[in-house]
Amino acid sequence: MPLFEQVTIIGLGLIGGSLAAAVRSGGLAKKIVAGSRSSRTLERGLSLGLVDEGYQDLAQAVQGADLVFVSVPVSAMAATFSAIVPGLERHAIVTDGGSVKGSVIAAARAQLGAHFSRFVPGHPIAGKEKSGVDAADAALYQRHRVILTPVAETDPAATQAVRRLWTAVGADVLSMGPDEHDRVLAETSHLPHLLAFSLVDTLARQGDSTDIFRYAAGGFRDFTRIASSDPVMWHDIFTENQDAVLAAADLFAAGLARFRDAVARGDSDALLGIMTRANTARARFLAMNARTSYTQAQSATDEHHMKADQNAAQARNPEFIVQPGGQLTGQVRVAGDKSISHRSIMLGALADGVTEIEGFLEGEDALATLQAFRDMGVVIEGPHAGRVRVHGVGLHGLKAPARTLYMGNSGTSMRLLMGLLSGQAFASELTGDESLSRRPMERVAKPLREMGAAIGTTGNGTPPVSIRGGRTLKGIDYNMPVASAQVKSALLLAGLYAEGETRVTEPAPTRDHTERMLAGFGYPVQRDGASVTVRSGGRLTGCQLEVPADISSAAFFLVGAAIAEGSELLLPHVGINPTRTGVIDILRLMGADIRLENERDSGGEPVADLRIRSSGLKGITIPEELVPLAIDEFPAIFVAAACAEGDTILHGAEELRVKESDRIQVMADGLAALGVELETYPDGIRIRGVGQGRPAFTGGEIESHGDHRIAMSFAMAALRASGAIRIRNCANVATSFPGFAELAGRAGLSLQVQG
């Protein structure tokens, strides 16, 4: 059904012509009219079938239109608005495509009169090297951004109508204030064009410019490509957005001066800091534009990203399609331990000297931690194939970040940084994605406030988290009401800056990676039964670390091999820290055939090669003392329980309800959808398994709710399913286990990724 009776396009170039083509293709208007001073352009638009009518008289062109799109140079906006006013219908909505909003809004306010409230300023960020009406492309706006900048007087109904139009042609519609738009575009679009024009002009003025251009490498060609843009159009933009362009140029000049100074002084750390920050910032920029993962963006080529942008609808939200049956065999080296990867960056940054890390997990969560410390002035080289060099700045060497620290989906990053940042001299703010923004932070904030920290959360105790700097912390003796390694670690990190001793006592054992790693960096840690104590005044010394394979990632393969008849897998170099082996203990109690081979020590962490063979599993009541030792692995354990003979009962696992999702409920919903009989409790679940020899699951569709562990667990369930399992919303698998799908496929799981 059409959105409009008549749409009029004023200015039938690439931008206006492409909107006309998209409106035509989508059947969004009963009639499309063009207005242009050029009769030739109108004739071409008519012959291409883009418009139904065309007029050189702009007032005549807008008669009868209920939406008018003005796509002319910014310098011509005022005259165009003046020309269309006599023909505008009272109800007509006017919007534009100008790349500068301040001057366009001023022109509209001066010229449109009573129609100004129906003017919706906009800017479609799209284009291609060809221009003119012949380059019109109905798909130009698909998966590209359109920014709307309504002002106080703008009719909200008009804004909504324009938003519907752009959404209907496939664009992502964003809103921001006009001044913010002009500043952001000056920095990200106008400044690069200014630099390209300036560089080419500067080199062309040299006497040997012919040789310069003849021997210029690809980097020069790529950077200066935008100097081929229309000089008249860019003259208008630089003139109309003068203040913001000059501010952006000054900002760049200051940055260039810092870079030049670092080169002149031979300051290796400063040079590495600038370039590593720039390298990762560009990767994040590419990821945002391609709607793909930060991990992919780091290693992919520009060509890949252009293709990814074209296929963004799938790349944005991949799905797993897993065919039923099969077995897991061979040797699988799973991803590095996420918990240890986080802490290696944190403590390496706070150490004196350089820390060399091997086996670092290049997943979204760990990369969020790495980026946060880059944002606080720490020079970090890599990661390259799991290798990272952290140039430590000492306990008091972190610098105030210039922006909010974004933690993505990583609760570990946010909670541990709350403790560490509480002791800094500067203020900071932590935020995250939609999932992390729903997760509780008060259980960390409350004891930190007892130490003297000034921490704010939302009214619901969720992110964003604000931390006021310059506070004097005092050590406390804290008895944790609920076992939590993240709370314990946050308090210990705050204790590095607190007066006196900080002692944390836990009601049940939790992972002790922080204590082990502090000792590995030479910082005194006292352990006495269930209590851990640190005192401020020490120092950390850079060292070499090897991150073992993550037992939480290994858990999916342990369960898969245990439930699929005929399976035998070897998982080398897996961390078997006694505070993390609950999944092994639980599976063994259920009858799993798991053997630990080649046990050894790796940088203070115990590791072993795990061999798992398929076996008949029995339902059990899971001992509550094992619950904290397997809290992250329960989604996989639930899959094993559905394949075991008899009931498996879990209590004491309330924490599962406040993970990336409510893992008790989300797993229960998914299991029930696949035909599993179960009952949920506030703190756990009962699952009735079918035993060996027959399918434990039907086929079906699962919603993972963006929880990586849910997605990977149900992928393994297909080994004992009677039909294919489709798992939706799997993008966050990259947070903890990049490459999971490929690795599982090599081991024998019939898994296909769509998107």
618 is in an annotated binding site: no
Phi and psi at residue 501, to the nearest 5° = -95, 145
Gap between the Cα atoms of 652 and 681, Å rounded: 10
The per-residue DSSP string of 493-504 comes to: HHHTTSBSEEEE
Could you tell me which of 103, 20, 92 has the C-alpha nearest to residue 59? Answer: 92
Q: Measure the CA–CA gap between 20 and 14, rounded to whole angstroms.
A: 10
Catalytic residues, by residue number, are 632
Edge to edge, the sheet with strand 544-546 lists 379-384, 387-393, 352-358, 544-546
Q: Do 272 and 374 form a contact (C-beta atoms < 8 A)? A: no
Q: Is 527 annotated as a binding residue?
A: no
Are the C-beta atoms of residues 583 and 556 closer than 8 Å to each other? no
Q: Are 689 and 642 in contact (CB under 8 A)?
A: yes
Residue 709 labelled as part of a binding site: yes
Query: Is the separation of the CB atoms in 509 and 494 below 8 Å?
Result: no
659 is in an annotated binding site: yes
Helix and strand counts by DSSP (H, E) for the chain: 29, 32
CB-based contacts of 310-318 (< 8 A; 24+ apart in sequence): 310/143, 311/755, 312/143, 313/143, 313/755, 314/754, 314/755, 315/290, 315/291, 315/755, 316/291, 316/292, 316/731, 316/755, 317/728, 317/729, 317/730, 317/731, 317/755, 318/730, 318/731, 318/753, 318/754, 318/755
Where are the alpha helices (H) located in 317-472, listed in sequence order?
338-350, 364-375, 411-422, 442-450
The annotation status of 632 as a binding-site residue, yes or no, is yes
Q: Are 199 and 263 in contact (CB under 8 A)?
A: no
Which of 623, 590, 581, 588 has its CA nearest to residue 689?
590
Distances (CA, A) of 684 to 220, 618, 650: 60, 18, 5
Does 663 belong to an annotated binding site? yes
Q: How many CB atoms lie within 10 A of CB 621?
A: 12
DSSP states of 573-628: EEE--TTTTHHHHHHHHTT-EEEEEEEEEETTEEEEEEEEE----B--BPPGGGSG
| Sign of the alpha-carbon dihedral angle for 9, 15, 19, 24 | positive
One-letter identity of residue 373: F
The Cα 101–Cα 123 span in angstroms is: 8
The Cα 714–Cα 729 span in angstroms is 12
714 and 745 Cβ atoms separated by less than 8 Å: no
Q: Give, in order, the Cα–Cα distances in Å from 746 to each of 359, 553, 562, 640.
A: 20, 16, 17, 21
* Triad 482, 488, 490: Cα angle to 5°: 125
Structural element, H or E, at residue 455: strand 454-456
Is there a binding annotation on residue 486?
yes
CB atoms within 10 A of CB 724: 15
Query: Was 339 annotated as part of a binding site?
Result: yes
Q: Give residue 591's region: left, alpha or beta (phi > 0; psi -120 to 50).
A: left
Is 439 assigned a ligand-binding role in the annotation? yes
CA distance 305 to 287: 8
Report the binding-site residues for phosphoenolpyruvate: 338, 411, 439, 486, 663, 709
**Residues at the annotated binding site for 3-phosphoshikimate?**
338-339, 343, 484, 486, 632, 659
Numbered residues of the known binding site: 338-339, 343, 411, 439, 484, 486, 632, 659, 663, 709
